[in-house]
Chain A
């Protein structure tokens, strides 16, 4: 909201001015104060073109011009690359500009998505942003918006940088860690077919990393990753992955131990994974062996498990069902 009249600069002018001043910031010249102010101003004007103002809707043609200028000049990516040089409010403006341009559609085409597909580096700059606290949340906001689009999600998911998420979600600064977890969760749940395929092909690597989250010292990491695991395994799309997961005795052992975690919430999440092992009609022999070895203990344990959840009919029915299943397990005819 400009105080003294409107700035009638054209999109091309704004983009040029912004680019020049950003270059000054990058070079770290003496005049950075002035340039910084100029950058902020340009960002505000851009935002106004894209989002309109209180009394004005955005003008389609100007928006199209601006988008074109942003692609042609490469400024969209330069902004992301140099995000930490921009002031606090300017960083947020960049996010809003970025997200607005990203959602642009011409007919069924998403030009920005196409543009990013041929400029993939932008996705990895955003991902790397989690390592820099001053820009982490801004980058997270943009990255999450990117992965709503399947082609971009695919690039991130299948990249060598994807495993970095397993470190980001465990960072000690909780606001950044939880932002990273939100992105991680989106990546693994939003595009079902893509994810199922990826998990099948990279089962060993992904689940080796995932297991670290389940054993995390961080209460929230442990609780949320366990909950997400339950959701992933019980998603029909991930059927093959689930069968594989529930055939492995190590996984059953882990869940049985988590059933006895000191936190009732974690026990409860573990229950929802454990139940799949038991309910599986085609249990592998090692799984049957473990269940049989602990048959009496498991029945006792489940009988006393979270008894205060009396209102939760579904949970109690499932528990009864599991107890019955375990009781009915037969020793192999020897």
Chain B
């Protein structure tokens, strides 16, 4: 909390306390310019008119543009920012921007470092169910508010069946409400956490990855880099529609009427996304990176879906960076990739779970960096993914971004040949025994206006009589 606060003041004028100044007022830098004006104030002599540049202290970051810096604070985790669905189509759908039109039902997820609550809700005028992402802006720094506004802006410029649309966005008290379709299976990450701790089966993964590739193809074609591709940002609707979400870190290569070839910016608030980010994004060198970095993240996501956990997850950030730069390539864990000696030790919890195969020259046992496979008996040890799937992942995870195929090319990879039916026919069946959250079940209202309540309690010590005017 204090961290957030100090950040808020970074753009403020400094009040310098250094005591080198002889007179009592000179410390007040923020007003020094008041006194630099001899015609107005005759006291000016007493005020050291340090030319203390007001401007230099005030980094007026222009709100429409990418805010800079402060990147290491406040990582957001939207891993559970799930759930949202209904038939899509009418993308501009008219949902009223007014909180009284929505009846809040169960809380179905949280995210953004607990700043965000996702509720299922009933849209009163039509009775249909939607998901509402509520963010209490009172807990967000000014920077964070700008950051969220940037996301909303971008999402309104996208229109694709594989990208989660924002139906309506408005302010209710001190909360930001974003209305989205209700995605009844939640995120792919949710599915892993609740039902597939050792990973999903290959065909399910094929459907999910293909949906992601379609979204990425559109995003890249529009000149953007997503920069936050991971399983928690893929949502699945009751009808099996796969949608990408998590546009908060997206970056446009086209700015001010010019197209850049590469990005150098490091995504803000992205600490939790580091394991998915490509070596070139992490490396932050002059060559920059482009949409191919999303392809790397897609490869990591493929491992995440197949293995049940993301490679590099519990590794210190610097070690992860070194591993990636040195060409350590994560892989799908199955009988073909887990070393024979590991297979022999079936129930053990050593290197096999790391999801990292030997990179060139790498050897020996690595630290486990994912939860050991617990549930369904020894899955990784007796399953075998298809050679096409292994090949697909290898293509995505190549160290040299130039060698990674584009999203459009990857969508035609033989790995997807196994898809014979439409997602709406196949996915719900494949996801069994998971059933989509139904809207009828738990519909006890759970809305507590937490924001307002917390504000008021915080005020108690501030009770003062009215001012006298």
Contact = CB atoms under 8 A, between A and B. Distances in A.
A103 interface: yes
Interface string A145-174: 100100000000000000000000000111
Nearest to A179: B153
A186 B64 CA distance: 8
Nearest to A256: B467
Contacts of A198: none
B58 A311 contact: no
A239 B171 contact: no
Given A186-B62, A276-B31, A310-B2, A219 B174 contact: yes
B433 interface: no
A315 B9 contact: yes
Nearest to A88: B159
A210 B195 CA distance: 54
B33 to A, nearest CB: 5
Given A174-B97, A297-B467, A314-B12, A100 B62 contact: no
B22 interface: no
A312 interface: yes
- Could you tell me the dominant secondary structure of chain A's interface residues? helix
B33 A239 contact: yes
A78 interface: no
A100 B43 contact: no
B159 A317 contact: no
Contacts of A282: 40-41, 43
A186 B468 CA distance: 37
Interface string B51-85: 00011001010111000000000000000000000
A268 to B, nearest CB: 7
B462 interface: yes
Interface in B1-51: 1-3, 5-6, 8-9, 12-15, 17, 25, 27-28, 30-31, 33-35, 37, 40-41, 43, 47
Contact of A293 (B13, B145, B455, B468): B468
B92 interface: yes
B28 A321 contact: yes
Contact of A321 (B27, B35, B170, B171): B27
Given A260-B464, A282-B41, A235 B12 contact: no
Interface string A293-317: 1100100110011011111111101
B239 interface: no
B62 A189 contact: yes
A227 B8 CA distance: 11
B254 interface: yes
Contact of A263 (B98, B138, B256, B468): B138
Nearest to A192: B55
A314 B28 contact: no
20 contacts: A51-B259, A100-B258, A174-B170, A182-B149, A219-B173, A223-B145, A234-B30, A234-B54, A236-B54, A260-B464, A279-B31, A279-B34, A281-B35, A282-B40, A282-B41, A297-B468, A312-B6, A312-B9, A314-B14, A317-B17
Given A133-B92, A137-B156, 10 more contacts: A1-B221, A89-B159, A175-B166, A178-B152, A181-B63, A280-B31, A293-B469, A307-B461, A314-B12, A314-B15
